[in-house]
Structure 1
Amino acid sequence: MSKILIVEDISEMSELISIYLKKAGMETLVCDTAEGALIELQKLVEDDSFDLIILDINLPGMDGFQFLETMRHEFHTPVLILSARGTDDDMVRGLSLGADEYVTKPFSPRVLTARVEAMLRRSAAPAAGQQTVISFGEFRLNTDNYILKRGDMRVLMPNKELEILILLAQAEGAPITPDDIYKKVWGDSFGDITTVAVHIQRIRKKIEADPSSPSFLKTSHGQGYYFDNSGENRS
């Protein structure tokens, strides 16, 4: 049974979300503060951790952005931001800090539940029939358990970033357009490709010696992004 942490200070809202998720067969825990949510995360060992976090932004004390920035130093749990704050700046900030999805209020509980289920499926079931471990430079990317290591050290990276990195690495140098990346990773035909660019920037900061002149995750102008370990540029 999937375990969902709901971080929401409005009890009517968290209760509504819990009802729908429980009907879908999930277990939920509600925290009305970010500080309380961090405590709950720390309580659980890796084998019994939360499968997904639904996070509000406007919280008393530490807000959702601060919570996200803090937890990403240690936890890889997929995060869906659910907030009334729906400006482009808010969305870009949330995604830049490590959120995997951003849903604005008001929302449909049924659609939210479907999005949560889709995120859980993507998190639990990487594509079959692909190379299990991909090595590049000092890095080893395990595509089965979504773990990236540099030497013996694990590189902290949210699921969406790992999905993009795996998608491009498994394409073996073939460029993939931002639209196609969005469709394959987010499962949506229509979306803001700015989201893809934000995630690409975050990945480069973690795997490139110089993110402004990448060696691995490159841009093929007019074609999209591609993964290349050779150091050669495409025109």
Structure 2
Amino acid sequence: MTADHPQNAPQTGKSVLIVDDEQDICDSLESRLKAAGFRVQTASSGQEAVATFIKCFYDGPFDVILLDINLPDMDGVDILKLLRQEEELRGVNYGDGVIIIMQTGIKESWMDAFTKGCDDYIIKPYSFQELLNKINEKIRIKKERSELK
């Protein structure tokens, strides 16, 4: 990530779940997203992410989930599949809110992630502004869709 600064911060109260096993990345993203007006929660493993998903069905879903595809205990695609199953079971839909974080050269995982319900991706290393733009776009799309209902 580069040291650029957020612009056009979203409305306060939007929520993001960061799922990444690299603590320095979680800490940096959490700090910068909070400064940009987001409520942020982190999970450092696949198991923690799944437990957080289940808890959030009672507390309210996240607007956006940033999901590292390469976690040591679970594959990000498997986590995404579990999330979509929980959504169906509980009648909640994250819709356009899952952004996969991946290394370059993992095309098979990228393709599999999209078939399991990924909405967008970003490749490491990325700039914070690029990620923030993607997050804001996901939130904008969700808002527009909810207004159409």
Normalised-by-shorter TM-score class: 0.7 to 0.9
Gaps of 5+ in 1: 129-142, 145-235
What is the match of residue 3 of structure 2? Answer: none
Q: Is the 8 A contact 1:5 1:53 kept in 2?
A: yes
Q: What CA distance in whole angstroms lies between the structure 2 residues aligned with 1:5 and 1:67?
A: 13
Q: What CA distance in whole angstroms lies between the structure 1 residues aligned with 2:17 and 2:146?
A: 26
> 1:58 deviation in Å?
1.1
The percentage of counterpart residues that share the same residue type is 28
What is the match of residue 10 of structure 1? Answer: 22
Q: What CA distance in whole angstroms lies between the structure 1 residues aligned with 2:63 and 2:79?
A: 17
Gaps of 5+ in 2: 1-12, 88-92
TM-score when normalising by structure 2? 0.79
Residue type of the alignment partner of 1:108: S
Within the candidate set 54, 59, 77, 2:71 is matched to: 59
Query: What secondary structure sits across from 1:54 in the alignment?
Result: strand
| Cα gap change, 1:35 to 1:47, in 2 (>3 Å) | closer
Q: Is it true that 1:122 corresponds to 2:141 in the alignment? A: yes
Q: RCO greater where, 1 or 2, for CA within 8 Å and sep 6 or more? A: 2
What is the match of residue 220 of structure 1? Answer: none
Query: What secondary structure sits across from 1:125 in the alignment?
Result: helix
Q: Is the 8 A contact 2:64 2:98 kept in 1?
A: yes
Q: What CA distance in whole angstroms lies between the structure 1 residues aligned with 2:30 and 2:18?
A: 8
Q: Is the 8 A contact 2:54 2:86 kept in 1?
A: no
Residues 32-83 of structure 1 deviation map (CA, whole Å, 9 limit, x = unaligned) = 0111111111112356221111000111211211101111112232210011
> 1:19 deviation in Å?
2.0
| Cα gap change, 1:31 to 1:127, in 2 (>3 Å) | closer
Give aligned pairs, total: 130
What is the match of residue 52 of structure 2? Answer: 40
TM-score when normalising by structure 1? 0.52
